[in-house]
Amino acid sequence: MLGNGFALGFYLLASLLVFVDLFDLVLRAYFRHVQTLPPEKKKPALTSVPLNTGDFSPYQMRLHLRPYALLVSVHNMGAELDAFLEAMRPHFARLWVIDDASTDDTWARLSRSGVRCVRGEQNRNKPGAIKHLLSTLPPEIETAVIMDPDARIVNRGGSSISDLERVIFEFQRSGMAALCPRIDVRQVGWLGRIQAFEYWLAFGMGRRGLADHSITSGMAVYRRETLARILEEHSLSVYAEDLENTMILLGRGQRVYYDGRLVIETDGKRDWSGWFSLRVGWTFGLLKVYTSRLFGLVGGKDRRPLFIYHYLIYIGLFTLLLHPLKLVSLALLATSAANGVDNLLGLNWIPDGPATNLLYFPLAYLKYTTFSLLSLWLAVSRGERRRLAPVVPVYFFYALIHLMPSTLGYLNWFSLRLTGRRIYRDHYEKEGSHRLEPRFEERRRKAS
């Protein structure tokens, strides 16, 4: 059967996703090893670059910790407000909340809760709301921790100082502009477990290997004055807000690092429709921010190989420009799988040929499963590997499914630029949390 219709070119194209992800994993593993290894060649750091902030006891850290605040924007929290307040109760002394023009009873309940809160009279979306909240903070607050209302700060204990305080103390002494924590997904159901594995790859391998030009997340730590300057230049769109923050910072020569010791737990999507809609919004935001901020980023002074690889080759080439070829790869894998079933049942509905060879799919599956197993070992902590191991055999299908919302997100970007309308309402539009850019609003008004 190998000689009957097997074509090397079609095989390589069908395996494109495997080859790209495997190449990326190996390269990031190398960079992570090089970037996180301290000069004294001891155990690799849990941060994306080794921090030389001095040797302090927990008591000294708490004594010299400069003022910081946790900033959260909420809107129409409903029944979820009580869970949010309960989770944040240990941090009430540092917590500042802005109600982003809720239309339910969120503001009234926040006012009665005892938490510091500010009323937003108009809906600004999260970046705009945080910008307004930041302007109301006391001047002595030096560090801002941006949180989402569904997030929980994990403290593993074992010390008289919390993980949050330890990480912030070292961040304040590091001289860097921002810090990305590790985001963990609550493993509720199979979809939650798969997303947890996905996040481990994104943070434990992706961000940890980016040295001091890492990407922040929607929940991150910033120097207050730095965040204020970012938000003056920011589009204030909720789409890819973290990537936009990062590209502004790196374009200015600022440094951003990852610290896996600070873990923030959040809710993943619990149903496939919500997952699909959110991914559409993510990929739309990626293309929107990347195209608008790329020249400012490459105009900076950073020319290190990993910087060039991640922001130009990985995002620009592998993620965006090769996407059409990935769709061709998906089509080849689908026809190969269908031909395998056709041969197994003896139907002979699908003719054997270079584009339908039944070996393409099982070979790609075996290679990607090997990649997933390698990722489990390289990116996931030892204590989580057993729990996430069942994801490995099905992660190939999850990666393929990703191509569908990604395609729709990119098509939304093109459609919005050409017609002022989207072809699909994603998560952010359904939440009513995004206002179009002025030129798109004008087009939409004329069209209606």
Residue 303: pLDDT band with limits 50, 70, 90: low
Average pLDDT over residues 119-134: 92
Per the CB < 8 A criterion, the answer to whether 180 and 246 are in contact is no
What is the predicted pLDDT for the residue at 429?
78
The answer to which of 40-54, 302-316, 415-429 has the lowest mean pLDDT is: 40-54
The closest of 317, 361, 355 to 15, measured between CA atoms, is 361
Domains annotated on the chain, with CATH: 8-17+321-431 (no CATH), 43-318 (3.90.550.10)
More confident call, 249 vs 186: 249
What is the predicted pLDDT for the residue at 71?
97
C-alpha span between 410 and 320 (Å, rounded): 9
Average pLDDT over residues 324-339: 96
Per the CB < 8 A criterion, the answer to whether 71 and 96 are in contact is yes
CA dihedral 379, 383, 388, 389 (to 10 degrees): 90
Residue 438: pLDDT band with limits 50, 70, 90: very low
Does the pLDDT of residue 406 top 90, yes or no? yes
What is the predicted pLDDT for the residue at 428?
84
Q: Could you read off the pLDDT of 60-71 as tens digits, one per residue?
A: 999 999 999 999
Beta-bridge partners for 178: 222, 256
The closest of 244, 354, 362 to 297, measured between CA atoms, is 244
